[in-house]
Amino acid sequence: MNHDATPSNTRSHDWKVHGYVAEYGDVDSLIHACEKVRDAGYTKWDAHSPFPVHGIDDAMGIKPTILPWIVLGGGLTGLLTAFVLQWWTNAIDYPFLISGKPMMSIPAWIPVCFELTVLLSAISAFLSVLVLNVLPALYHPLFNLERFKRATDDKFFVSIEAADPLFHETNTKSLLASTHPAALETCMEETKQAKLPIAFHYVGALATLLTFIPLALIYKARFAKSDAPRVHIVWDMDWQPKYKTQKQAKFTGFADHRTMRQQIPGTVAWGDDPDASPLTTGKDAAGNWINNFPLQVDAQLMARGEERFGIYCAPCHGLDGAGTGTVARRAEQLLAANKAQGWTRPASLVGTLEDARLRRDTPNGELFNTITNGKNTMQGYGGQITPKDRWAIVLYVRALQRAKFLPDADVPPELKDKLAGK
């Protein structure tokens, strides 16, 4: 039962023992043999089977490898990289306010963090498996044994390497013999590794040099000018069967040969106002701001204006129009606590004794226009408030202004005593 493998092609190389290889016909014998070798204390040995064998790890005494820790490290590195990258770019290097979210908005960062965690975990798992197993290996001394080929077919093997500190020419062999193998062989390996043929080095060097050509071409393209037409790789994307705007159509479907069709009569484009009038623009026919009201002014309109002002304007400008609404006060708090930046205070609609710009120098039409289209940092409310309601608000703003700096003559006589505190 004891054939020593005599390599068929010994060439001029010296041979030494790589190890002993025992062959078994079934899984149970393999497991028993493994338990014996494990209990004898060997470390450089292996079991070979055509398929995964349950319980072989225990039988071989294989401890968990370091791989999970490497993958954990890779994953954490990915997580940290994603987090720091987003934190640095979003919150530090170029602070960019998005929808009023905090600068450090972690929920928005989760997809990138997740992706990088998975990516680096997978890459480190893949590379570590190769490195830890010394792969890829194109050659292994065990392949010198003809018999060993059946390790991928129907036989099971245990191999103990001569490099194991416990390896002993006779003791190791008798240990394996005591496991009742179907065959026991000595595996030889060459003492010297054959050299790679010199041509491989040349081809390798040449291939490395060739990889620089695309880089050099890209680099050159950044500076050089050329009259040659560009290379078209995807033809049907560069030349699509389509017409561009404002061009002549070659096909005869349309008598006027325009690629674009004319508007259907009566079309109103977004932003167009076919019935522009002082009521909707705040301007007269000459284009000047009007300073009256283009609709009937009555108590009903005033009441409507008060209500609409409370809904649309008071949050910022305050119920009295002085510019200290709840939004403004909250913003001032955040500013004071250094939690916000870039805030423009809502204007005081009533002004002060000296500053009468909005009170006296701004025509009704211009106030109306400010509500419609906004001004500077204030957005327009034209899309939300109907023209009639906008005029109602203008009317109410006028009332607020008047109430703030009430001319003496305006105060009803019966209230004068009350005001004077009598």
- The answer to whether residue 316 forms part of the interface with ligand HEC (CB under 6 A) is yes
Binding-site size for ligand HEC (CB under 6 A) equals 21
What is the spatial distance between Cα 318 and Cα 311, in angstroms, rounded to a whole number?
Answer: 11
Q: Which of 344, 352, 373, 386 binds ligand HEC (CB under 6 A)?
A: 344
- The answer to whether residue 370 forms part of the interface with ligand HEC (CB under 6 A) is yes
Contact region with ligand HEC (CB under 6 A), list: 130-138, 143-151, 377-385, 402-410: 377-385
Q: Output the smallest distance, CB 277 to ligand HEC, in A.
A: 21
Q: Is 78:116 a contact under the CB 8 Å cutoff?
A: yes
What is the spatial distance between Cα 391 and Cα 371, in angstroms, rounded to a whole number?
Answer: 9
Q: Which of 70, 371, 392, 395 binds ligand HEC (CB under 6 A)?
A: 371
Q: Which of 31, 358, 392, 400 binds ligand HEC (CB under 6 A)?
A: 358
What is the spatial distance between Cα 386 and Cα 190, in angstroms, rounded to a whole number?
Answer: 94
Distance of CA 70 to the CA centre of its chain: 24
Burial 145-171 (b: 16+ CB within 10 A, else e): bebbeebeeebbbbbbbbebeebeeee
Q: Which of 15, 109, 243, 312 binds ligand HEC (CB under 6 A)?
A: 312
- The answer to whether residue 377 forms part of the interface with ligand HEC (CB under 6 A) is yes
List all residues 6 or more positions away from 53 whose beta carbon is below 8 Å from its beta carbon: 27, 30, 31, 47
Token pair listed for 203: 């081809």
Q: Output the smallest distance, CB 274 to ligand HEC, in A.
A: 25
State the CB neighbour count (10 A cutoff) for residue 44. Answer: 14
List all residues 6 or more positions away from 49 whose beta carbon is below 8 Å from its beta carbon: 27, 30, 56, 151, 156, 157
Distance of CA 250 to the CA centre of its chain: 45
List all residues 6 or more positions away from 412 whose beta carbon is below 8 Å from its beta carbon: none
List C-alpha distances in Å: 354 to 322, 398, 399, 406: 14, 17, 19, 14
List C-alpha distances in Å: 357 to 242, 366, 378, 418: 56, 12, 18, 30
Q: Output the smallest distance, CB 313 to ligand HEC, in A.
A: 3
Contact region with ligand HEC (CB under 6 A), list: 32-40, 53-61, 256-264, 343-351: 343-351
Encoded one letter per residue, x for contact with ligand HEC by CB under 6 A and - for no contact, window 383-422 reads: ----------x---x-------------------------
Q: Output the smallest distance, CB 377 to ligand HEC, in A.
A: 4
Contact region with ligand HEC (CB under 6 A), list: 107-115, 125-133, 281-289, 342-350: 342-350
Amino acid type, 229: P
Q: Output the smallest distance, CB 381 to ligand HEC, in A.
A: 5
Contact region with ligand HEC (CB under 6 A), list: 8-16, 94-102, 201-209, 310-318: 310-318
* Cβ neighbourhood burial of 337 (10 Å; 0-12, 13-18, 19+): exposed
- The answer to whether residue 341 forms part of the interface with ligand HEC (CB under 6 A) is no
- The answer to whether residue 317 forms part of the interface with ligand HEC (CB under 6 A) is yes
Contact region with ligand HEC (CB under 6 A), list: 212-220, 260-268, 290-298, 341-349: 341-349
- The answer to whether residue 327 forms part of the interface with ligand HEC (CB under 6 A) is yes
- The answer to whether residue 360 forms part of the interface with ligand HEC (CB under 6 A) is no
Contact region with ligand HEC (CB under 6 A), list: 83-91, 94-102, 109-117, 312-320: 312-320
* Main-chain phi, psi angles of 196, to 5 degrees: -70, 130
Q: Which of 378, 382, 399, 404 binds ligand HEC (CB under 6 A)?
A: 378
* Cβ neighbourhood burial of 31 (10 Å; 0-12, 13-18, 19+): buried
Apex 6 CA angle, 4 and 10, nearest 5: 150
Q: Which of 315, 363, 380, 382 binds ligand HEC (CB under 6 A)?
A: 315
Q: Which of 22, 34, 349, 350 binds ligand HEC (CB under 6 A)?
A: 349
**Contacts to ligand HEC by CB under 6 A:** 312-313, 315-317, 327, 344, 346-347, 349, 358, 367, 370-371, 375-378, 381, 393, 397
